[in-house]
Amino acid sequence: MSKKGEGSAVEPGERRAFEAAWRDHYPAVLRYCARRTGDRQQALDAASETFVTAWRRVSELPAEPLPWLLGIARRTLANQWRGDRRRDALVARLSWQADFTGGGESELETAQAAVDAFNALGQGHREVLALSIWEGLKPREAAEVLGISASVFSVRLHRARKALREQLEPGVAPAPGSMTLANNREGG
């Protein structure tokens, strides 16, 4: 049997087995995800991601696929929850910083301003900030993800932090190290 992702086509038997697994077990996988998320859209996303992963690993599809599929769904949900916690932690850090500096905005307004500032950045800036802050990677680890040197990553991170500061406070040159983002995991 061929392995998906190695440039070869899926065997007809693998395709039929996957289609049968989808037809027979998608409702059970969706119910499993719905019970654990309590949110219809998150459950649909997790169930879909489960079958995307199953398709990538179609050559490993067992004769009785439901337990295997539920294991994939469990890991998919765990990944979603970790991502949600990272985003929540970032919002909390940004909100805390605004409160600490005496900002008069409510936490929600502050968090929304941070999200808007982040979204206003270019893709390159968002990527290095996300690797550093959301993913919690050190510069050498993030550099490996991007296929660049740690020193190049550090320069890009410095520029991205500066751009974010400018988005958050246009025309104000903050003191070095005054933002929580500037203090995040500098070591390499």
Tens digit of pLDDT at every position of the chain (188 positions): 444 444 457 888 999 999 999 999 999 999 999 988 888 999 999 999 999 999 999 999 999 999 899 999 999 998 888 877 777 777 777 766 555 555 554 666 777 778 888 888 888 898 888 888 877 778 888 888 788 999 999 999 999 999 988 888 875 444 444 444 433 433 43
Distances (CA, A) of 80 to 43, 49, 73, 77, 126: 11, 10, 10, 5, 20
The pTM of the whole model exceeds 0.85: no
Rounded Cα gap, residues 152 and 143, in angstroms: 8
> Would you list the domain boundaries of the chain?
12-81, 84-183
Q: Class assignment of domain 84-183?
A: mainly alpha
Distances (CA, A) of 43 to 47, 71, 80: 6, 15, 11
Query: What is 12-81's CATH topology?
Result: Rna Polymerase Sigma Factor; Chain: A (1.10.1740)
